[in-house]
């Protein structure tokens, strides 16, 4: 899994202890996580911290890790765009098949940020349902509480997410805005 430049600094040690404990028991519980909270509170950063640990070669560890396993990370809007573009491509990228058949730890970032249509709800349901049926741990991030997500993608999908995941609310302020440098221009 290629980690974007912005998140190469993410470390497993950055991840809050409660989330690390849930991650470390995924192998036994077969449950993923649904991390939700306000914009900029660290959801994506924590996921890349987990991914850095998951992809690290070591003999035994969280989630029954063995060398050769790896995680897959998709921003939901980008995934849907790739699937939509595949419809008209002569040579297909096959993002949908890649995600549907993937057996490792899947990260789906910014769930609910995409523009919702019947097609989007259906594709998302198919992905969630496949992972639900196969008991494949998935880590979702969203700005939406599960009840608010229901209004966007439907009860069936959210019901599966809640059963297959530990639901974790993150609180805090937007770190990006807090860390933004303010420039003053005097004329």
Residue 143 DSSP class: S
Which pLDDT score, from 0 to 100, does residue 66 have? 41
Model confidence pLDDT, tens digit, residues 71-84: 889 999 899 888 88
E strand or H helix at 168: strand 165-169
For β-strands 72-75 and 106-111, DSSP reports them as parallel
Range picked from 36-40, 97-101, 128-132 for highest mean pLDDT: 128-132
- Parse the chain into domains and list their residue ranges: 5-179
Model confidence pLDDT, tens digit, residues 116-175: 889 889 999 999 999 999 999 999 999 999 999 998 898 999 999 999 999 999 987 666
What are the backbone dihedrals phi and psi of residue 85, each rounded to the nearest 5 degrees, phi first? -65, -30
For the chain, the average pLDDT equals 83
Residue 22's pLDDT band (cuts 50, 70, 90):
very high
13/181: higher pLDDT: 13
pLDDT at 65 over 50: no
CA distance 139 to 76: 12
The third-level CATH classification (topology) of the domain covering 5-179 is Rossmann fold (3.40.50)
Q: CB under 8 Å to 130, separation ≥6 — which residues?
A: 100, 136
pTM here is: 0.83
100: which 2 tokens? 């549907």
């Amino acid at each position: 899994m290629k980690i974007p430049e912005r998140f190469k600094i993410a470390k497993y040690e950055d991840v809050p202890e409660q989330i690390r404990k849930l991650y470390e028991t995924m192998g036994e519980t077969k449950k993923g996580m649904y991390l939700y909270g306000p914009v900029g509170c660290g959801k994506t950063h924590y996921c890349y911290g987990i991914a850095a640990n998951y992809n690290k070669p070591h003999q035994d560890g969280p989630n029954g890790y063995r060398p050769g396993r790896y995680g897959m990370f998709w921003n939901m809007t980008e995934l849907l765009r790739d699937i939509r573009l595949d419809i008209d491509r002569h040579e297909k990228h096959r993002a949908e098949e890649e995600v549907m058949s993937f057996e490792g730890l899947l990260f789906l970032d910014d769930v609910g940020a995409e523009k919702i249509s019947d097609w989007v709800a259906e594709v998302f349901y198919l992905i969630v349902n496949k992972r639900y049926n196969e008991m494949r741990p998935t880590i979702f991030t969203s700005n939406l509480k599960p009840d608010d997500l229901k209004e966007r993608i439907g009860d069936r999908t959210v019901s599966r997410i809640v059963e297959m995941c530990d639901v974790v609310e993150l609180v805090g302020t937007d770190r990006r805005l807090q860390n933004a440098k303010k420039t003053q221009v005097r004329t």
